[in-house]
Structure 1
Amino acid sequence: MAETKAPTLLHQFLVWEREKADTVYLTQPLADGRVVDYRWAEVGDQARRMAAHLRSLQFPPGSSIAIIGKNSAHWLIADLAIMMAGHVSVPLYPTLGAESARYILDHCEARLLFVGKLDGSSDNWPLIETTLPPDLPLLGLPMNPRADIPQWDDVIARHAPLQQVHDARPEELCTIVYTSGSTGQPKGVMHSYRSMQSPGPALADGFSITASDRLLSYLPLAHVAERAVIESNSLYFGIHVYFCDSLDTFIADLQRAQPTIFFSVPRLWTKFQQGVNAKLPPAKQRLLFALPLVSRLVKRKILRGLGLDKARVAITASAPLAPDIIAWYRQLGLELLDIYGMSENFGVSHASRLGEMRIGYVGSCHRGVEARIDANGELLVKSPGQMMGYYKLPEQTAHDTLPDGFFHTGDLGEIDEQGRLRITGRVKDLFKTARGKYVAPVPLENMLANCPKLESVCVTGLGQPQPFALLRLSEEARQALERDPGQRDALDVEVGALLAQINATVEHHEELGYAVVVKEPWTTENGLLTPTLKIKRAAIEERYQAGAAAWLAMGRKVIWE
């Protein structure tokens, strides 16, 4: 397919609305088992009606309109309505802490909040709701939990479709994406219509995407990665997008969608493999895979059971995936391609390509991207997806962006002779031990994270003789211990062996002195994880630093809280 010539994603939507009017764009499963399809013309009609309502409120042009809710067809339709009305979307994670949500709404000066699909159990809505600005108008998307606020269907029924939608300019502000912030307050990353469109050309170059592809949206749309893969690409190429109803229906929803392009994160790729292993033990897999006549059928059946038998592009991102898991999927016929990007460049930075993948590396530059490593080992990137800046933070923007347009990513990296990038840590995460040696915790954490029995890990050790690891067991491992406490000894040995294995491959000053298996859950609610489930290093270190002296004195390799 030739690249679009439309100047923005909004203009391109208008093309699809006209040319693909009767083609399904969005598929939404409902809790009662029904599945609703929305065609391009219907999406346009609803978005135009809501845009007419937003215009009727007479907000100043470019006002901030916030959206909170799980992924749904109407999340995207609401975003289109905001664009059509000439305003700026501000997505909020449903799992945000109440204080962070209030900070964002105040900081961006939100004029209205779209309240979407929320259940109050797997999100933080009950607490967020209590801290909303009292004068902030709310408007409910379908499936929202509030019956006492204006509802989408009622509102659009009162308005005719807006005919003259906003004529957006590529350089104009389109959205403010607040980073989840592992330290300090969230920062509002401003993206233009141009940078929001940049994932399309970037992925077209490496993955040959066309309108016949299918996508499943289930990772948070408040995150740039999902927004880039799902919203930007579906609008750029005219792709059919499917949604999920709930975690319980995820596999059924995945099987319905049969995505040809599937984007996930290491934690979920690992869970998929564990689910298969629970039904078909690895020893039996090896036996069946070795039989030429049945191997192909078994592998196809496994992929079909996962809903991935039609996937031709499988993407992993956010953290390294264990080599043995990559090899397992490769054996099934699914090549997992690593990509790398950040909120500040709308995810447009690096990607692996078929035939060029190197395990441990996140690929080479997308078309139009430049990258270099500075004298301190930090990765600097210049991208077509580059942000306009941080909202209301001109000094921070100037500090992080060089005069030649390169951005300080904050990541430490290495680039091989073929231009492939390996991320080796975070600049700000480096800490100095009592020996005066600097340690980068991320590579050690990545090696620990290869153990499927660990859910979260944090390596720390500022001022300590050696770094040490804080470990949170996976839900499966915790349940197994509850059923049979006697398994603790075996797990103790397994963790000790993992430490020995890691210590044999690193410099002496990087060797892990011991590991602590912690009791307390690490969650977004208690402030130890970000909304994207990354560790909040500073908060975790503050929580556990008081125990370091006593743990060291125990002289054991594995300590249980």
Structure 2
Amino acid sequence: MSETQTLIENRPPSVATLFTERVAATPDGEAYRYPVPPASGSGPDDWKSLSWGQAAERVYAVAAGLIDLGVNAEERVALASSTRVEWILVDLGVMCAGGATTTIYPSTNAEESAYILADSSSRVLIAEDAAQLAKAREKRTELPELKHVVVIDPAGVEPDGSEPEGWVLTLADLEARGAKYLAKNPDAVKDRVAAITADQLATLIYTSGTTGRPKGVRLPHDNWSYMAKAIAATGLVTKDDVQYLWLPLAHVFGKVLTSGQIEVGHVTAVDGRVDKIIENLPVVQPTYMAAVPRIFEKVYNGVAAKARAGGGAKYKIFQWAAGVAREYAKVTQDNFRRTGNASAPFGLNARHKVADALVYSKLREAFGGRLRAAVSGSAALAPDIGYFFAGAGIHILEGYGLTESSAASFVNPGEAYRTGTVGKPLPGCEVRIADDGEILLRGPGIMEGYHNLPEKTAEVLEPDGWFHTGDIGELSADGYLRITDRKKDLIKTSGGKYIAPAEVEGQFKAVCPFVSNILVHGADRNFCTALIALDEPTILGWAEENGLGGKSYAEVVASPQAEQLIEGYVKRLNEGLQRWQTIKKFRLLPRDLDIEHGELTPSLKLKRPVVEREYKNLIEEMYAGSREA
């Protein structure tokens, strides 16, 4: 048995145990950094730190406070908050109390929040602020099992005389209560941690789902313990790393990063405010971070827009440098695959050095100047965008996993990464490709099942442990996986041709610097069409330079000039596609797609049925008068 297998197979029963071991090993080491906004309300944030010992003090106080409130093993404590250091401390507190965290996105409306609270039988809700508390108050009579709401940031919370006494308390109250409880019962938390078994429920994550009601995915303690060990075994992160964590922790991709960090013991800077990413990167100077493809697309579009605003010469330099980056990345990755040496010919090296001085070095500085690697997951990254960043020295390691597989099943292996693939399976994860191309997974990261839904569980989980992912993919001879599409998203034209819309959409995002979201439609039709939403800052910048300054986004996208602009990019896309894949017609949407209107999941995945339903009239308009075979 290899050292890696031994490490993973001899894992402790829970992350709660891993956390206590980490605290004992490096109590004074820095664990978390978090921003504190200035008292004046303006100016830069002040970043504070917590050592592992200080974090443990708060975690154990939360755990003891929950025990005092009557939370028993496996009982659910819901957590409705954006990504902030308190999210991590509370989640660890729930686990150390032997409870299970039910995660709720702060953007979830009152009705769906109530559904999750009721379906999970959550006894306590940790709510970020007055807005999250208001949702629970609105539905309180429908939630008899919810005994307490704990508010992290109590600003603006008013008392409500109709509530039972103690129904609302603050996080500070809970921690104070826990400290008192520990003074009388010093071993209470230690005993709870020692009693946790590997198969005990740790987390209930409701899939945001691109269709229908969310399903609760049951993830036992062993899933996270395995993930922590497997991430460490990849060697991608070290104790000297600084991670910048902004991903939603209610999503499995964000949550798994907290387990890996505890095992490795590096620093994590936590701030979930997406609008602060550009400002935070030079301050945090991370050595690695994880993101979803939309972030890299936005950065790419922003850099292209800035170059274009600098005039024709600057934009030509950018386009040249982008081409060099892609060529350099493809050549060096190919050489590394064949020879183990990421080399490039002399001429390409020389061009790359010039482009680095002019373009790439500034891009790396914008990421803080120390970024070794970025992990991308949750959706497919367009290969051309991946090659651009790779050539610019920002190495994006695509990974793959689902809520049902505790997030990380595949990741690209460091230097040997291959753009356009999601890498190799994590140690301990088995994979096979079914006859119809579906990816099947088995291993310690796979969920126990769907909460209260045995029939749904049986649909995806075989008795021998194989999980049906619903994704289509192919494995290379040396074990690299390429995802081609969602099984249910493959579309078949009326001419009998199968098309992977995500593949066409990804290619368009690589050629068009103005696109924000695109949906390719063509199921049972005789040609493909597209609904296209543009990136507002980028297209408004273009509008200023093209005689449309002062007009709103909706006015700009309705203009003949904008349609002509995007038509040029559609033609360029079509040049690289098979005839049956080409986009014959498109429509520009009057606004971008977003989470608020239910068109994107909180992890920014497209909800195809919602978008197709909402813009049915535009789709029908594109097919009006066509002969459907």
Do Structure 1 and Structure 2 share a fold, with TM-score over 0.5? yes
What is residue 574 of structure 2 aligned with on the other side?
Answer: 503
Q: 1:15 aligns with which of 9, 13, 21?
A: 21
Q: 2:178 aligns with which of 144, 159, 163?
A: 159
Equivalent runs, 1:230-269 vs 2, <5 Å: 231-244=258-271, 246-269=273-296
Query: C-alpha offsets along residues 340-390 of structure 1, whole Å, 9 cap, x if unaligned?
Result: 111111122111123433332111222112211111111111132111111
Q: Select which of 96, 113, 125 maps to 2:125.
A: 113
From 216, 227, 230, give the equivalent of 2:255. Answer: 227
Does residue 373 (structure 1) correspond to residue 379 (structure 2)? The answer is no
Counterparts of residues 327-338 of structure 1 (less than 5 Å): 327-338=387-398
Between Structure 1 and Structure 2, how many residues are aligned?
Answer: 549
Structure 1 residue corresponding to 2:152, chosen from 118, 141, 148: 141
1:339 alignment partner, one of 399, 402, 411 = 399
Alignment of 1:269-288 (within 5 A): 269-279=296-306, 281-284=314-317
What's the secondary structure of 1:412's corresponding residue?
Answer: strand
Please tell me whether the aligned partners of residues 200 and 232 of structure 1 are also in contact (alpha carbons under 8 angstroms): yes
Which residue type is aligned with residue 496 of structure 1? E
Matched to 1:59, the amino acid is V
Shift of 1:284: 4.5
1:485 aligns to 2:512 (yes or no): no
Matched, 1:467 2:528: yes
1:79 aligns with 2:91: yes
Q: In structure 1, how many angstroms separate the alpha carbons of the residues matched to 2:273 and 2:306?
A: 22
Q: Does 1:455 align with 2:516?
A: yes
State the Cα deviation string for residues 266-290 of structure 1 (Å, max 9, x = none): 2111222344445554544568995
Which of 97, 101, 111 in structure 1 is aligned with 2:113? Answer: 101
Residue 559 (structure 1) aligns with? none
- For residues 467 and 273 of structure 2, the distance between their equivalents in structure 1, rounded to whole angstroms, comes to 38
- 5+ residue gaps, structure 2, are 39-44, 160-167, 308-313, 325-349, 550-555
Aligned positions of 1:153-552 closer than 5 A = 153-160=172-179, 161=182, 163-165=187-189, 166=192, 167=194, 168-229=196-257, 231-244=258-271, 246-279=273-306, 281-284=314-317, 290=351, 295=356, 299-307=360-368, 309-450=369-510, 451-480=512-541, 483=544, 484-485=547-548, 488-552=559-623
* C-alpha displacement of 1:88: 0.5
The 1-side partners of 2:76 and 2:378 are apart by 28
Change (3 A) 1:310 1:518: same
The 8 Å contact of residues 431 and 440 in structure 2, kept in 1 or not, is answered as: yes
Confirm or deny: 8 A CA contact 1:430 1:440 kept in the other structure. yes
Q: Is the 8 A contact 1:31 1:245 kept in 2?
A: no
Task: State the alpha-carbon separation in 2 of the partners of residues 99 and 67 from structure 1.
Answer: 16
**Higher CA-based Rg:** 2
Q: Distance in 2 between matches of 1:507 and 1:371?
A: 30
Counterparts of 1:301 and 1:469 in 2: how far apart (Å)? 35
> Residue 558 of structure 1 corresponds to which residue in structure 2?
none
Report the identity percentage. 29
- Assess if the C-alpha contact under 8 Å between 1:430 and 1:438 holds in 2: yes
Change (3 A) 1:369 1:116: same
Indicate conservation of the 8 Å contact 1:116/1:144, yes or no: no
2:60 aligns to what? Answer: 48
Change (3 A) 1:143 1:501: farther
CA distance in 2 between partners of 1:549 and 1:261 (Å): 45
Gap runs ≥5 in structure 1: 556-561
Q: Deviations over 1:82-137 (max 9, x none)?
A: 1121111011111223332221111101111101268x6xxx88767644556532
Conserved 8 A contact 2:63-2:178: no
Measure how far apart 1:509 and its partner are.
Answer: 3.2
Instruction: Determine the C-alpha separation between the residues in 1 that align with 2:570 and 2:358.
Output: 39
TM-score by length of 2: 0.80
The answer to whether the 8 A contact 2:390-2:396 is kept is: yes
Whole-angstrom distance in 1 between the partners of 2:471 and 2:274: 32
Q: 2:379, 2:605 within 8 Å by CA — same for their partners in 1?
A: no
Name 1:35's counterpart in structure 2. 47
The alpha-carbon deviation at position 489 of structure 1 amounts to 4.2
CA deviation map 1:224-280 (0-9, x unaligned)? 111112x11111112211122744433332223222221112211122234444555
Contact kept, 8 Å, 1:207 with 1:313, in 2: the verdict is no
Distance 1:314 1:140, change over 3 A: same
Residues 302 and 360 of structure 1: CA distance in aligned 2, closer, same or farther (over 3 Å): closer
* TM superposition shift of 1:297: 9.2
Using the alignment, how far apart are the partners of 1:315 and 1:509 within structure 2?
Answer: 33
